[in-house]
Amino acid sequence: MPEIDYQEFLNQKQITAPPVGIDIDILTINPMLFNFQRDITKWALKKGRAAIFAGCGLGKTPMQLEWSYRVSEYTGGMVLILAPLSVAGQTVEEGKKFGIEVTLCRCQDDCKPGINITNYEMLEHFNLELFAGIALDESSILKSYNGSFRTRLIELCKQIPFRLACTATPAPNDYMELGNHAEFLGVMTRAEMLSMFFVHDGGDTSKWRLKGHAVKKFWEWVASWAVMLQKPSDLGYSDEGYELPPLIMHQVTINVDKPNTGGLFAIEALTLQERQTARRETTEDRAEACAEIVNKSDESWVTWCNLNNESELLTKLINESVEIRGSDSADKKERVARDFIFGVVKKLNSKPSIFGYGMNWQHCHNIAFVGLSDSFEDLYQAIRRCWRFGQKSEVHVWIVVAETEGAVVANIKRKEVDFEKMLSQMISATQEITKANIQSTRRDTTEYRPEKEMTLPEWLKGEAA
């Protein structure tokens, strides 16, 4: 057995995801991408199987499109992008801006050589064995979808050589989401990740805690297959052009005279069931208060709700409001989403579960919530459809709640502070390693080592004279 030095032995023990992809000249990458986008795209192509966890508005779509184009060009095969409902059409339009053709598909027969895109709901109509690459747009679906869909998606993608996952920075306290991404990319199964880096937190098997001695190694491992950033400066780039305008939150509290607990007075809800009861009993009052705010403006508005009766009332009360429900066809959802972007529809009313993920609505800076669910992620994502890089105006968010629902805005702000704190800690844990990974692929150069002294030919000397 050949001898190796101790440092080489240690390097062999490192747990990282080895590159399996394409090493291309960065100067050939689409010049319309910003420097940090080109560098990340080159890194993701070299990895072959990678995740891009980037904040809203940082250009995940153009990076995803350029990655898909390069994989298709290199392999001569087809690439499939899976996206949330109504995002596929938006991606086709985005591709036109960057000179990249994308085919919108409903089934395998619609696919063409190059890049194809469809909705997650259409997955059963495709044969993934026919694709050289796959990209998951809003790949947080690996966490939010039911377990059987997630497992099936991961299994179907196992044989695809090139894989990319793109989403906003994952929830910092949800290690399962990272595990699902690692498994999709073929880096390590979720079970292997948990056994290697985590311990059960008490008797609750749904809660896992990083082993104290494994924290540094865990984030090194994550940084070997994923890049995380909330703004370009997280990776050492300039933030010029990526400053967010102010976000202004307003709470409108509806007085409740009717007792909601069988007592003499209406009291603040404490349990989930009490909050749901308070919402149902004040639906009409909240919808009327919201409509009064929205109808005072001729600007674009998006109003979010959680219940069908809330949606029906808002559509009835808000002038020229267009409602999108889960039962509407995919064609209608895509058409209305497009019409909203181009100003044909000015007042859009829907649920975060339908339009809260993936849409780029920087043209709109007015948002209203008629009540809130208990999902902070739904709220965060719904706001981020408008409050994202590229937004030029300050964004106003109106939250209309009943007094029996409690101090909702204060609770939201507390969760936002906690979220941002944990998020910055997660990015901080990986940024130095990620910087090194990105910078190592940034420029293709060959060191020039001259071995002979340069001399001018005689004929050139004569001309110079």
Q: What is the pLDDT of residue 210?
A: 85
Kindly report the number of other CB atoms within 10 A of residue 288's CB atom. 15
Question: How many residues does the structure list for the chain?
Answer: 465
pLDDT given at position 2:
53
- Per-residue pLDDT, 1: 47
pLDDT band at 271 (very low <50, low <70, confident <90, very high): low
Which of the pair, 261 or 367, is modelled with greater confidence? 367
Least confidently predicted of 127-131, 200-204, 313-317: 200-204
Residue 244: both structure tokens together: 């967010």
Q: CATH homologous superfamily for 247-416? A: P-loop containing nucleotide triphosphate hydrolases (3.40.50.300)
pLDDT tens digits for 179-227?
A: 999 999 999 998 899 899 998 766 555 577 888 888 889 988 999 999 9
Report the distance separating Cα 357 and Cα 232, nearest Å.
Answer: 22
Q: What percent of the chain has pLDDT over 70?
A: 82
Is the Cα dihedral 191, 193, 198, 201 positive or negative? negative
Please report the pLDDT score of residue 264 as a whole number. 41
Question: Among the listed ranges 71-75, 254-258, 363-367, which one has the minimum average pLDDT value?
Answer: 254-258
Q: 280-308: per-residue pLDDT in tens?
A: 788 999 999 999 999 999 999 999 998 88
Pick from 203-212, 340-349, 380-389: least confident: 203-212
> So where are the chain's domains?
11-239, 247-416
Res. 439: pLDDT tops 90: no
* The pLDDT value given to residue 265: 43
Residue 447 has pLDDT above 60, yes or no: no
pLDDT number for residue 43: 95
Residue 406 has pLDDT above 90, yes or no: no
Count of CB atoms situated within 10 Å of the CB of 83: 24
pLDDT value, residue 177: 86
Q: What is the pLDDT of residues 150-168, one digit of tens each?
A: 999 999 999 999 999 999 8
Whose structure tokens read 């910092």? 172
Amino acid 323: pLDDT? 96
What does the mean pLDDT of the chain come to?
85
**What's the pLDDT score for residue 445?**
47
Q: Which residue has the higher pLDDT, 77 or 422?
A: 77
pLDDT band at residue 465 under the 50/70/90 scheme: very low
* CATH C-level class of 11-239: alpha beta
Q: Quote the pLDDT of residue 13.
A: 44
- When computed from its CA atoms, the radius of gyration of the chain, rounded to whole angstroms, is 26
pTM of the model: 0.81
